[in-house]
């Protein structure tokens, strides 16, 4: 029996009257990389964003079903949204550094979560090292983060997430706005991060999914069509739909 980090049971999600996700059941394993793939609009980003309650501010979103982080109900009102998001970090499609310096970008989360002041510099250094960014920026930590290149910004966003030591990192097409070299660096980074974190990533890139994933979930029209190991999905898909998609026949 493998260790489950996040489990989703009988989940339905609506925006207003429109149903976006239909009866989703999926388990994300601890310290593995799970990829969510599928054509645009299939609901994979929506699913990802519901794992750390990013839909809370979308006023007409209605979520049914049970989503658990370990044995804790993510949507239980008793549980602080702050703690959920601290445990489940997120990296977005477009790098979105805060309008502050590189150092402050990382210090920000530590400060609001009241980490002891004296520990902050060390935490920042190790997060930057973990994200393979330290060597590039260690001499200019005071530089505004927006001055970094796109790839560096995205790695900074990953470092900003990592610095809080979350248990899960959600990534929403983190490489779609980047060039191949930066993409390559981020993929390497993901491979090394999975030793410590559970990673769930949404991607459009089949090769990338194949390269980095342990598990792959294929979604179509708001439904989870097939879920299995990367080998299974890419080499031996059970469903016709999956086969067509991974072979590039549509999407």
152 versus 242: smaller Cβ distance to another protein: 152
In 3D space, the residue among 13, 16, 71, 87 whose CA is nearest the CA of residue 44 turns out to be: 13
If one asks whether residue 108 binds another protein (CB under 8 A), the answer comes out as yes
Given the complex with another protein, which of 16 and 41 has the nearer CB atom?
16
Binding mask 5-44 for another protein (x = CB under 8 A): ----------------------------------------
Q: Give residues 132-171 in contact with another protein (rule: CB under 8 A).
A: 157, 160-161, 164
Structure tokens at 86: 């601290």
Stretch that binds another protein, among 64-72, 83-91, 129-137, 207-215 (CB under 8 A): 83-91
Read off the tokens for 74: 């993510």
Among the candidate windows 53-61, 117-125, 198-206, 235-243, which touches another protein by CB under 8 A? 53-61
Q: Distance between CA atoms of 19 and 188, rounded to whole angstroms?
A: 36
Q: State the minimum distance, in angstroms, from the CB of residue 89 to another protein.
A: 6
> Which is nearer to another protein, 82 or 191 (by Cβ)?
82
**Binding residue for another protein (CB under 8 A) from 28, 67, 75, 89?**
89
CB of residue 181 vs another protein: minimum separation in angstroms? 23
Spatial separation of the C-alpha atoms in residues 174 and 93, rounded to whole Å = 5
| Per-position DSSP letters for 172-202, written without gaps between them | ESTTTTS-HHHHHHHHHHHHHHTTTSEEEEE
The residues that bridge with 200 in the sheet, in sequence order, are 34, 170
How large is the angle between the packed helices 150-162 and 120-130, nearest 10 degrees?
130
Question: Pick from 37, 102, 107, 109: which binds another protein (CB under 8 A)?
Answer: 109
In the complex, minimum distance from the CB of residue 98 to another protein, in angstroms, rounded to a whole number? 6
d(CA 75, CA 11) in angstroms, rounded, equals 12
The bridge status of strand 4-15 relative to strand 61-69 is: antiparallel
Q: Which of 29, 31, 85, 165 binds another protein (CB under 8 A)?
A: 85
In sequence order, what DSSP letters do the residues of 149-173 get, joined into one string? -HHHHHHHHHHHHHTT--SEEEEES
The CB-of-170 to another protein minimum distance in angstroms stands at: 8
Q: Which stretch binds another protein (CB under 8 A): 9-17, 54-62, 64-72, 207-215?
A: 54-62
Which residue intervals of the chain are DSSP H helices? 44-50, 81-87, 102-112, 120-130, 134-137, 150-162, 180-193, 206-212, 230-235, 240-246
Give residues in contact with another protein (CB under 8 A).
Answer: 52, 54, 57, 59, 80-83, 85-86, 89-90, 92, 94, 96-99, 108-109, 112-114, 157, 160-161, 164
């Amino acid at each position: 029996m493998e260790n489950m980090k996040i489990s989703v049971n009988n989940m339905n999600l609506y925006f207003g009257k429109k149903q976006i996700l239909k009866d989703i059941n999926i388990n994300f394993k601890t310290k593995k990389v799970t990829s969510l793939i599928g054509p645009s609009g299939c609901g994979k980003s929506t699913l990802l964003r519901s794992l750390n309650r990013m839909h809370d501010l979308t006023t007409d979103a209605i979520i049914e079903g049970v989503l658990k982080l370990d044995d804790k109900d993510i949507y239980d009102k008793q549980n602080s949204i702050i703690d959920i998001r601290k445990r489940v970090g997120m990296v977005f499609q477009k790098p979105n550094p805060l309008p502050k310096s590189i150092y402050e970008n990382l210090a920000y989360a530590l400060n609001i979560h009241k980490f002891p002041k004296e520990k902050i510099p060390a935490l920042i250094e190790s997060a930057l090292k973990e994200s393979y960014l330290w060597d590039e920026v260690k001499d200019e930590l005071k530089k505004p983060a927006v001055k970094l290149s796109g790839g560096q910004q995205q790695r900074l966003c990953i470092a900003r997430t990592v610095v809080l030591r979350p248990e899960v990192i959600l990534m929403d097409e983190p490489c779609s706005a980047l060039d191949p070299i930066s993409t390559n660096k981020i993929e390497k980074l993901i491979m090394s991060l999975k030793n410590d974190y559970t990673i769930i990533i949404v991607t459009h890139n089949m090769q990338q999914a194949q390269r980095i994933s342990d598990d792959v979930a294929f979604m179509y029209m708001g439904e989870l069509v097939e879920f299995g190991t990367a080998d299974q999905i890419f080499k031996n898909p059970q469903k016709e739909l999956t086969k067509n998609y991974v072979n590039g026949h549509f999407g």
